[in-house]
Amino acid sequence: MGGDAEASEASGRDVVTVTDHGAARVVMLNRPEARNAIDVPTRRRLMEELRRAAGDPGVRAIVLTGAGGTFSAGGDVRSMEGARPDEVRARLAPLHEAVQIIATCAKPVIAAVEGAAAGLGVSFAAVCDHVVAAEDARFVAGFGKVGLVPDGGLLWSLPQRVGMGRAKEMLVFGRTVPASRAYEIGLADSLVPSGKALDAALDLAAEAAALAPLSVAAAKRLLARTGDDLGRLLESEGEEQAALFGTADFAEGRAAFAERRPPRFEGR
């Protein structure tokens, strides 16, 4: 399927759907007939919806999932034939922005994985803050089987999750990792019955939505800087903490603690 066909498909229906559940926004890949393969129109739409969710003050958590019992089969290989280097870079641009949004946005991003997460699907799952995997889920980064290097930041996110040796098992040897093994090595953070990944992710999103959003945002910013030396990280920690001391949310948190009641955070 080439670029014109892809554009026609994208204009015919939503290749990415969005649904709000309270303060959680579900962003769903919606190409079930293609096992949610991420072609160029889909990655552009995904980037736009992630950007919109990240900037919406009413959204406290984001859930990323796929329709039809599959998370994502990865990049749409059928649309890659004959791409020139400049076209490859153009294909990667919205993908890279989407990954950056997930990694650095102020809100927790939770992946709900049913069925296969392959190639780029693994990249999107691994960069999320929490991965809920159904028992039938499986993860495979088979880039070497099609002659490409892992993309979507997977060479950065996967070693952080599972360590360098286990990352090489997947990225160099192309081994498929079933859900139970993914949970054991840290690629998945929660393991749930098949068909329940989205429900579990929404439960977790509701927990996250009850936390102080400015505090969560600061924690994500600092976690993104754990590559810094300790002294620089401690300096950044001090700056973040000093700013948070002056927020209405911290005042509310102190009052709620003293009054033994749940806090009501407003993100200010």
> Each residue of 65-93: pLDDT tens digit?
999 999 999 987 776 666 778 888 888 89
Query: Residue 200: phi, psi to the nearest 5?
Result: -65, -40
Mean pLDDT computed over 226-235 = 74
Tell me: do 95 and 167 sit in the same domain.
Answer: yes
Q: What pLDDT does residue 145 have?
A: 83
Q: Quick check: is 264 in a domain? A: no
Q: Quick check: is 129 in a domain? A: yes
Tell me: do 233 and 185 sit in the same domain.
Answer: no
Whether the CB-CB separation of 60 and 208 falls below 8 Å is answered with yes
Residue type, 177: V
pTM of the predicted structure, to 2 decimals: 0.87
Q: Which domain holds residue 201?
A: 3-209
Closest CA to 220 of 109, 98, 112, 96: 109
Q: Quick check: is 44 in a domain? A: yes
Could you give the number of structural domains in the chain?
A: 2
Closest CA to 107 of 172, 52, 69: 52
The 24-29 sheet, strands edge to edge? 16-21, 24-29, 61-66, 109-113, 130-134, 190-192
Listed range (109-113, 188-192, 208-212) with the worst mean pLDDT: 208-212
Closest CA to 224 of 211, 214, 237: 237
Tell me: do 201 and 134 sit in the same domain.
Answer: yes
Which CATH number belongs to the domain containing residue 7 in this structure? Answer: 3.90.226.10
Q: How many CA atoms lie within 13 A of 262 on its CB side?
A: 5
Q: What pLDDT does residue 37 have?
A: 94
Tell me: do 108 and 230 sit in the same domain.
Answer: no
Tell me: do 228 and 244 sit in the same domain.
Answer: yes
Q: Quick check: is 195 in a domain? A: yes
Question: Percentage of the chain surpassing pLDDT 70?
Answer: 93
Closest CA to 222 of 203, 205, 241: 241
**Which pLDDT band holds residue 64 (cuts at 50, 70, 90)?**
very high
Per-chain mean pLDDT for the chain: 89
Residue 146: pLDDT over 90: no
Question: Percentage of the chain surpassing pLDDT 90?
Answer: 66
Residue 38: pLDDT over 70: yes
**Which pLDDT band holds residue 10 (cuts at 50, 70, 90)?**
very low
